[in-house]
Amino acid sequence: MPTMKQRLLALAVSAGFGLAALAGSAAGEDLMQIYREALRNDPAIAAAKAQWEASQEKLPQARAGLLPSASLSASANVNNYDLTIKSEPRQELNRNFGFAGATVSAAQPLYRQQNIIAYDQAKAFVSQSDYALSVAEQDLIIRVAVAYFDVLLAQFNIELNDIQKAAVSEQLAQAKRNFEVGVATITDTNEAQAKYDSIVAQEITTRNEYDNRVTALRAIIGRYPKDLKKVGGGFQPQIPQPNSLDYWVDMAMKENLNVRIAQYNFDIAALEVDRAKAANYPTVDLVASYNGQGSNGSVSADYNSYSRFGQIGVQLAVPIYTGGFNSSKIREAVALQERSRQDLEGARRAALFQAQTGFSGVNSAAASVKAFEQAVVSAEVALQSNKLGQEVGVRTNLDVLNVQQNVFSTRRDLADAYFKYLIGVLRLKASVGTLNEQDVEDINRQLRG
């Protein structure tokens, strides 16, 4: 079996190369597999796709207002007529006869400004729905990546806690031996015991955190994940390209998907104002109808009859007074247009903020990774120096325990910095509307079983 010192060294090296040593021997599920399963099973993306499909129907519905319409109505009746005249001479009349008729009517709008504007709105709405679905897809990528790396980080914390507990246990055993032979005080033993008890308590928290992270991922893919692949060795964070904040801000203001959606909302609201005003315009329709009816008698006759009647013409309707309804609808539409204008400005400011924080976040995370990699190496050197100092009597057991704690804290910070970098890259790309499945694949290539 490897010694404790060898295990510590192996973990230090693994931390410097993206936590690769935490991977098991068997190949696990990778990020791409989890993402594709989320595409099939995540309720939020399924709802977004259903909403997109429903949105596509807005166009044919609006187009119907520009196309001809036709209807057929028909009726058939059996009639009984019974007449009694109470006079001299008394007269009675009783007749049974049937009546049937059918009417076919059709109309073709010639001028209906409201319907024309509604068709333009529908086209904008359908285009907007494409961006809404893309937002849901980008959101899924980020949710899957966050959940995936949260599980990896929780696994890392458990592994780190186990090795830390073993290391402190070794220090505790050594302190007890030294106390028994009289070369150390009971204080060293008590300090090591306290540190050990603290780690045991922390172990409960880390395992509970792992269970919560796994459950969060299960909520997305609909099942508990298997072993997940880790970030492989040789991974080196890169700064954004181009490394210019102005570039990313300009891109976000133009290409951010939420900005595009808000712009469509404003355009649709502007058309709604025009549509409300068009309610005061006259309408012109081409109308036609054809009626046929027949009977085998009537109240006054007992012979069969049949008639046909057809007409075609132009129908004009001019709204004169609607009780103030149209005026109210115009005021409402204008107010809603102003709201959408403010929503658009809010979306632009949010996009600017996302681009700024995303850009600085990626640069900061990349720098943090390099800094913590060096910090891990330095902490390991300090630990070995303190252990050597303890052996020659210039360092106490508490000194070693404190430096050892710093080693594990630094490794944990390094792992967190790796995952913050990866998520930051995704968020930055989402802020400029370019995040897609290829970005998931790019990260996935950094993973190993």
pLDDT tens track for 185-239? 788 788 778 877 888 888 899 999 999 999 999 999 999 998 899 887 677 888 9
- Name, in order, each residue with C-beta under 8 angstroms of 64's C-beta and a sequence gap of 6 or more: none
Please report the pLDDT score of residue 340 as a whole number: 98
Whether 166 has a pLDDT exceeding 90, the answer reads: no
pLDDT of residue 396: 64
User: What mean pLDDT do residues 338-350 have?
Assistant: 97
Closest CA to 130 of 63, 48, 61, 60: 48
Residues 358-417: pLDDT tens digits?
A: 999 999 999 999 999 899 888 888 878 887 886 777 676 666 677 777 888 888 889 899
The confidence band for 182, taking pLDDT boundaries of 50, 70 and 90, is confident
Mean per-residue pLDDT over the chain, rounded: 87
Fold topology of 4-68+111-281+322-448: Outer membrane efflux proteins (OEP) (1.20.1600)
What is the tens place of the pLDDT at every residue in 128-137? 999 999 999 9
The predicted structure's pLDDT at residue 15: 40
For residue 86, the Cα-to-chain-centroid distance in whole angstroms is: 84
Q: What pLDDT is recorded for position 449? A: 57
What is the reported pLDDT for 184?
67
Residue that wins the pLDDT comparison between 186 and 351: 351
pLDDT for position 192: 74
- Gap between the Cα atoms of 350 and 253, Å rounded: 9
Contact 281/113 with Cβ under 8 angstroms? Answer: yes
* Predicted confidence (pLDDT) per residue in 54-86, tens digit: 999 999 999 999 999 999 999 999 988 777 777
Amino acid of residue 164: Q
CA distance 274 to 255: 28
Which residues in 345-384 are b (16+ Cβ under 10 Å) and which e? eebbebbbebbeebbebbbebbebbeebbebbeebbeebe
User: pLDDT-derived band of residue 6, with 50, 70 and 90 as boundaries?
Assistant: very low
Q: Highest-confidence range of 7-21, 33-47, 292-306, by mean pLDDT?
A: 33-47
pLDDT at res. 183: 63
Residues 6+ away with beta carbon under 8 Å from 362:
239, 240, 421, 424, 425, 428
The answer, yes or no, to whether residue 170 has pLDDT greater than 70, is yes
Average pLDDT over every residue of 28-52: 95
